[in-house]
Amino acid sequence: MLSADSSKESPQSISRDIALISRIAAVPSMLKMICDETGMGFAAVARVTDLSWTACAVHDNIGFGLQAGQQLELHSTLCCESRVARTPIIIDDFSTDAVYRGHHTSKIYKLGSYISVPIITPGGDYFGNLCAIDPRPARVSEPRVVRMFEVFATLIAMQIESEQRQSSTEAQLATERETGTLREQFIAVLGHDLRNPLSAVNATAEYLVRRTDDTNLVNAGNRLKRTVSRMARLIDDVMDFARGRLGSGMAVSIQPVDDLDERLRAVVDELRLGNPSCDIVTDFAVTRPVACDPYRMQQLLSNLLGNALTHGAAGEPVFVRAATDNNHLYMSVENRGEPIPSEVLQKVFEPYWRPPTSSPGGGLGLGLFICKEIVEAHGGTIKVSSSKEDGTRFTAQVPVSK
């Protein structure tokens, strides 16, 4: 089914662009989200020129057989037509589409549905396409689906240009104003263009949950709500990372909080609901008010506990402790399982770092980085210890007063 493209392009330039996409850590999660939300079986970021079509990143649930670095014959694809027109090509069903019914691409690759959106950098350079295919028809022309592709293509294009600038002298001389503009564009795209359709999806989930006369619809609504919650946390983490790295810093609103114990219990209850098979053991003794940002402290516990539930050994409990003394709030989360190797123990707080054993698309690797930023914004410290005998424990220490 696959064939190599015998272009005259430099192998070095192709390899350089494949490596560039591999450095954008959010791409695997984007491709997985595309397949999850659309039902499409295969999604890819493709480098498309007037000479070649090359896969730079793929998510394959249907055994299409194409891997990153492999090529298709350019004119066997519809991406070349999208490149010429600089517009998306969207086909719900090849068999009924007025324009593409019987098109050679659908015959060659036995496709039922197809969507391809150009990746064009803010400077106007055409890199390639964000595309998805499936042997079955799919409703990819829905506005929410098209908008998701356009937003992701925009984010990838912005990151491509950023990576290219970093490798040039121009990047070293970029002004603070240019960086601020990039920050605002990045946060605006995430905050507005992703949150608005997410709100619509959540409203649909709420409607389904209220259909108490149909158990299947209620279950579907609850699953959809959990998906919305995961996507919202992903957006929050990326926005916090963008602010922290691009100048604004971690935003906190410090205030005396006398019900932190109750707020932390609510976080645990929420994660218990989403992980009914996991045993979460709590020991809370927060006996005095704490000067903190209550939302950020909940986010800190949610990230630490979510990490422990993901990486802890199945069937083993997770321990959550929080206590105060005269000077500090102490919060710890502990799980059993394979220890973190000592040589990489301190890397866990680096952005985009994920354990080598993590499954592809499992997250962006920003959760623990955000934890560190939250704790430091409160004037505290966070540390990790890990061993076969004692398990893995994250401990945060924050002053109770400012």
- Across the range 288-314, mean pLDDT stands at 91
CB 187, CB 151: distance < 8 Å = no
Asked whether residue 217 is domain-assigned, the answer is no
Kindly indicate the confidence band of residue 177, based on its pLDDT and cuts at 50, 70 and 90.
low
Asked whether residue 223 is domain-assigned, the answer is no
The CATH number of residue 294's host domain is 3.30.565.10
Determine the pLDDT at residue 117.
Answer: 97
- Across the range 230-259, mean pLDDT stands at 72
Range of the domain at 285: 255-399
Same-domain pairing of 6 and 137: yes
Asked whether residue 246 is domain-assigned, the answer is no
Tens-digit pLDDT profile for residues 369-399: 889 989 999 999 999 999 989 999 999 999 9
Q: What share of the chain is helix, strand, coil (3-state, %, to 5)?
A: 45, 20, 35
Determine the pLDDT at residue 365.
Answer: 66
Q: Order of strands, edge to edge, in the sheet holding 113-120?
A: 71-72, 53-60, 42-48, 126-134, 113-120, 89-91
Q: DSSP letter string over 31-69?
A: HHHHHHHH--SEEEEEEE-SS-EEEEEEEESS-----TT
Q: DSSP letter string over 99-151?
A: TTTT-HHHHHHT-SEEEEEEEE-TTS-EEEEEEEEESS---TTSHHHHHHHHH
Query: Pick the residue with more confidence: 98 or 186?
Result: 98
Q: Read off the pTM.
A: 0.47
What is the CA 207 to chain-centroid distance, rounded? 26
pLDDT surpasses 80 at 146: yes
- Domain boundary residue among 99, 117, 141? 141
Query: Pick the residue with more confidence: 197 or 153?
Result: 153
Determine the pLDDT at residue 78.
Answer: 96
pLDDT surpasses 80 at 304: yes
pLDDT surpasses 80 at 74: yes
pLDDT surpasses 70 at 272: yes
Same-domain pairing of 263 and 136: no
Distances, alpha carbon 337 to alpha carbons 306, 312, 313, 320, 348, in Å = 15, 5, 4, 16, 16
Determine the pLDDT at residue 341.
Answer: 87
Q: How many residues does the chain have?
A: 402
Tens-digit pLDDT profile for residues 92-141: 999 999 999 999 999 999 999 999 999 999 999 999 999 999 999 999 99
* Extended beta strands in 336-380, E state: none
Asked whether residue 3 is domain-assigned, the answer is yes
pLDDT surpasses 90 at 34: yes
Asked whether residue 248 is domain-assigned, the answer is no
Asked whether residue 267 is domain-assigned, the answer is yes
Give the rounded percent of residues in the chain with a pLDDT score beyond 90: 56
Beta bridge partners of 291: 256
End-to-end CA separation in angstroms for the chain: 65
Determine the pLDDT at residue 190.
Answer: 60
- Across the range 307-335, mean pLDDT stands at 93
Determine the pLDDT at residue 370.
Answer: 85
CA distance 135 to 133: 7
To the nearest whole number, what is the mean pLDDT of the chain? 85
Determine the pLDDT at residue 325.
Answer: 93
Kindly indicate the confidence band of residue 1, based on its pLDDT and cuts at 50, 70 and 90.
very low
Q: How many domains does the chain have?
A: 2
The CATH number of residue 129's host domain is 3.30.450.40
State the CB neighbour count (10 A cutoff) for residue 70.
Answer: 15
CA distance 163 to 147: 24
- Domain boundary residue among 102, 124, 141? 141
Burial class of residue 327 in the structure, from the number of CB atoms within 10 Å of its CB (0-12 exposed, 13-18 middle, 19+ buried): exposed
Kindly indicate the confidence band of residue 188, based on its pLDDT and cuts at 50, 70 and 90.
low
Asked whether residue 291 is domain-assigned, the answer is yes
Asked whether residue 151 is domain-assigned, the answer is no
Determine the pLDDT at residue 361.
Answer: 47
- Domain boundary residue among 141, 167, 192? 141
Which range (217-221, 246-250, 329-333) has the least confidence? Answer: 246-250
